Chain A
Amino acid sequence: MAATSMIGAAVKRREDPRFITGHGQYTDDIKLPGMVHMAILRSPYAHARIKSIDTSKAKAMAGVRAVYTGKDLEGKVGNMPPVFIIPDANFKTPAYPVIAIDTVRYTGDQVAVVVADSPAIARDALDQIDVDYEPLPVVVNEEEAVKPGAPQLHSDVPDNVLFHWKIAGGDPDAAFQNAEVVIKERFIQQRLIPNAMEPRSAVARWDPGTGELTIWHTTQNPHITRFVFSLLNGIPENKIRVISRDVGGGFGSKIDTYPSDVVAIFATRDLGLPVKWVEDRRENFVGTIHGRAQTQEAELAATRDGKITGVRVKSYANMGAYTSTGPAAGVPTWLFGLVVPGAYTIPNAQIEVIGAMTNTTPTSAYRGAGRPEASYLIERMVDRLAGELGMDPVELRRKNLIPADAFPYTSATGLVYDSGNYQAALDKALAMVGYDSFRQEQRQQRQQGKYVGIGFSTYMECCGLAPSRLMDDIGFQAGQWEVGTVRLLATGKAIVLTGTSPHGQGEETTFAQIVSDKLGLPIEDIEVVHGDTGAISMGWGTYGSRGNAVGGSAVYLATEKVLEKSKKLAAHLLEAAPEDIVAENGKFFVAGSPGKSFSIQDIALQANLAWNLPDGMAPGLEENSFFDPLNFVFPFGTHICVAEVDAETGETKILRYIAVDDCGVVINPTIVDGQIHGGIAQGIGQALYEHAIYDENGNLITGSMMDYVVPNARQIPFMELDRTVTPAPQTPHGAKGIGEAGTIASTQAVVNAVVDALAPLGIKNLDMPLTPERVWHAIQQARGGSNGH
């Protein structure tokens, strides 16, 4: 271990200078000679039969190279496959053609594709395609979709039920029968749109000489998309190179492989020209996955003195029109079910989820995926129970939080929580907000007619997606290990390869810190390479807060191997025993004799020259490490929101926002804080602003940045952050994940605060987003319908 630790150092993100000076290389920056441009005609109907498509006018336009319909591609490319098939759930796999063939099933479904010499010509040509649609009945709501008589989307998905599963632990029925108190609530997890800053895009280039496909592509997991392209486009996996070096955010929406990319690959092979496709923002709203969209019936059983004895949930999950080729049914519903009991010792739990197909954009994982839906449910229910029992919500939480000495803790749903000290995070957050005096101040403010409330979220989450063996059990058609490669060149510079695919997470910095810390190499001498299947052997990508927990662990272990080999070589050169070698600040010397040493650069040179290696040592200084942990990691913390409601207009103002998070050992505190900031911003977005609304005809009526509220700096409060550190026992560096925690923790803190503010009016629950009008109506209703003047 180096004496000067890079672990925990606030190193500035090394990737930022190129981004903020305009030198990032996003997919749209790729310009190839002879490149042509693709545009997609999308359905204006949510559900319709395609009676005919006339592409002749478009094909006749100058500069148009090709027009493809679903029928043109039928049999030539495969259907989009589901990646998550939940076992024991009567899971259906309806056909998902890359371009709709006879029927369109959501507004935005792909109907035809034009390839032309310029993006403008391609766009003009879309207007020249005549499609004769016969509209069909539409269903957009998840509960309505599974009722008898609802419009049917797929003939092989009766009642639109894509899947139906139930898990239970303990004896939930007995818990509810014997409960002294039972509370019930209905929560609507409104549909959200991920809205990554960079829309999706692809540049596909077929090389007829080598039979190789190169695709620059906005993905969070290039190796997975390589596999899917191979399967669908019939190109051997070793003849495909996927490059996704700079990707402008994803929030889960770029995990999926999309039909657009498959068509671009088809087109480049068909035309023998490089093909570019860039999604525009309007298209992104309908053509890229959505998130959340669940309606939940929740029940909590408890004793009168506030011990929670059971939780029961039935949730309808809106899966959209097709099973997206991504987490889809998996993470957003399955992981949801597993973490419903949250941070509490709830011995009995039952969770049932019905996946409904609707005439809407397919849903999949959006930041947090499943865990925000669960965390919101349990944290809102705990507040509801506190209200019901007349208990302080903090006191109720203390009574039920898993004690620090109970870890590893096995939950009623069978998860084994790795480590935690939930009380410590809560105590810290309470001290920051000054809770001792808060309630008295609140009483005074209420007397002055002010509606000020406080909301708590003592959340836990489950991330660091791995282990592979568990993925099989839950139906994910993939592995979840990672490989890290650390290679030292003769000049003492290092190349680090990772199969994770950062798209904003800053791993070019954090992974370099891990290597620098261990080897004593200057961080500027370490290059982290990601997002290129041509350079990196394998990897499963970046999502589920797994980048550092899994990918960083693999890099850590590979670095350890490099260190071991370096020590052996140093021992040889110093004519000492390897166990006597000390490595410190990049110097290798015999313990007690630092005067005579070799630097890591010396070692790298010697290893690469191989002039004087000990017998049996292979040349070079490069190590691989494969890492597949035995468990998830479980970050946690306490978020507290203080909010004031303007009872006259219904507007909510966040007065203070406090977050104490524990993600284990922190590699880079600035990056961790940034992840928390962004996560909280998106969580506040769900609580107060964001809502993808469909009308009854299946039109997305919040389909632009003019209507769909992505919060900006004006709407996000100053955040007071702190942390506790409870190392992860199963990762070598002790780090957990932090990419999603802010989103998982924050939404309910805000809603709990608003409901607490309005508690004097008897308001117990509000549906998100808490728009001013909604809150105003609730206040009106609570006051008995007077107009408030």
Chain B
Amino acid sequence: MYATDFAYHAPASLREVVALLQQGDPNGGEVKVLAGGQSLIPLLKLRMAAPAALVDLRNVAELRGISEEGDGVVIGAATTYFQTIDSPVVQRRCPLLVQAISQVGDPQVRARGTVGGSLAHADPAGDLPAVAVALDAELRAVGPNGQRTIAAKDFFVDLLTTSLDPAEVLTAVKFAATDRPHTGTSYQKHRHPASGYAVVGVAAVVMLNDDGTVQAARIGVTGAGAHAARASGVEQAIAGKTLDDATLTSAVASVTDGMELMSDTYASSEYRAHLARVLTKRALLDAAARAR
């Protein structure tokens, strides 16, 4: 479990981070951002990743912290999971983050892993990508060409692939707050018994009308396909409806439409699709119950 040799940088400012990424490796090797290391370090030890240099974000204070911004909560990319769920602002305004992050890995992972690290790594079975999608997150990145904002639905492109450029670094994520009347959220997860990752995870935000029908919903699904995705078909199918069993059953049938379903020894694509349906149903019902 010894990594190949690499250069290690731990700059104190975002400007230096971007400069290091832009500068790259003189021999054309890969330069990777280290943001907690809960995925990257194991890959290094297994030599499944062999970057020429690491740029560690641990000393970059401006990448940490939580603030309220209008209708959302902004979390610095290098904020750890624990700092996030420990925040009264997050607890009040984005309880979905608390519910989901509490199920990430184990206490050690939550102590070191970061919000930005998880999203930028884009593990197809990560918990946070589903939440980012459901909370309509805006992902803020800085690169050689300055700052830009990417919507969560456009951020996750493929297996372990985001729309970030190699020289761009994720700086913060704005999650939509859900502390509004008649709004409830839920994260339902089938946890892989070994890795703790989501075999399938479904994050749901449900807004109800006064009569109990669904005004709108946002659903993020992780684990089923190559990347986290929004289940727009289900969202549309329940809009304006009461969440009775027949409505739900028929609505969730399409939850994995358009997804390239993953398959492994633990769960076939067929079972993943089934879990996505069951968990979407459960997430919607739980979110709706919390909305009342």
CB within 8 Å of B: which residues of A?
119-120, 123-124, 127, 280-282, 648-649, 651, 689, 691, 693, 701-702, 705-711, 715, 771-773, 776-777, 787-789
Contacts and interface: CB of A to CB of B under 8 A. Distances in A.
Interface of B: 1-2, 4-5, 46-47, 190, 193-195, 249, 253, 264-268, 271, 274-275, 277-278
Given A281-B1, A771-B266, A773-B271, A648 B278 contact: yes
A570 B134 CA distance: 83
Going nearest first, the 10 A-B pairs with the smallest beta carbon separation are: A709-B194, A773-B271, A706-B195, A123-B2, A120-B2, A280-B1, A709-B193, A789-B249, A693-B265, A648-B278
B4 A707 contact: no
Given A649-B278, A787-B274, A124 B194 contact: no
B267 A773 contact: yes
Contacts of B4: 124
B194 A705 contact: yes
Contacts of B249: 789
A707 B194 contact: yes
Nearest to B277: A789
B46 A282 contact: yes
Contact of B194 (A119, A710, A789): A710
B252 to A, nearest CB: 8
A123 B5 CA distance: 11
A715 B192 CA distance: 11
B195 A707 contact: yes
A776 B194 CA distance: 19
A708 B194 contact: yes
A702 B265 contact: yes
Contacts of A701: 265
B195 A776 contact: no
B1 A282 contact: yes
Nearest to A651: B190
A776 B271 contact: yes
A282 B47 CA distance: 12
**B268, B274, B277, B278: residue with the most chain A Cβ atoms closer than 10 Å:** B274
A437 to B, nearest CB: 32
A190 B203 CA distance: 35
Contacts of A705: 194-195
Contact of A773 (B47, B194, B268, B278): B268
A750 to B, nearest CB: 14
A702 to B, nearest CB: 6
Contacts of B275: 649
A280 B195 CA distance: 18
Contacts of B5: 124
A689 B265 CA distance: 12
26 contacts: A123-B2, A124-B2, A281-B1, A282-B1, A282-B46, A649-B274, A649-B275, A651-B190, A689-B193, A689-B194, A693-B265, A705-B195, A706-B194, A706-B195, A707-B195, A707-B264, A707-B265, A709-B194, A715-B193, A772-B190, A772-B271, A773-B268, A777-B271, A787-B274, A789-B249, A789-B253
Nearest to B248: A789
A649 B190 contact: yes
Given A127-B47, A705-B195, A773-B271, 17 more contacts: A120-B2, A123-B2, A280-B1, A282-B1, A282-B46, A649-B275, A651-B190, A691-B265, A705-B194, A707-B195, A708-B194, A709-B194, A710-B194, A771-B266, A772-B267, A773-B266, A776-B274
A701 B1 CA distance: 19
Nearest to B272: A773
Nearest to B194: A709
Nearest to A711: B193
A764 B268 CA distance: 24
Nearest to B282: A648
A701 B271 CA distance: 19
Contacts of A776: 271, 274
B242 to A, nearest CB: 18
B1 A707 contact: no
Contacts of A689: 193-194
A691 B194 CA distance: 11
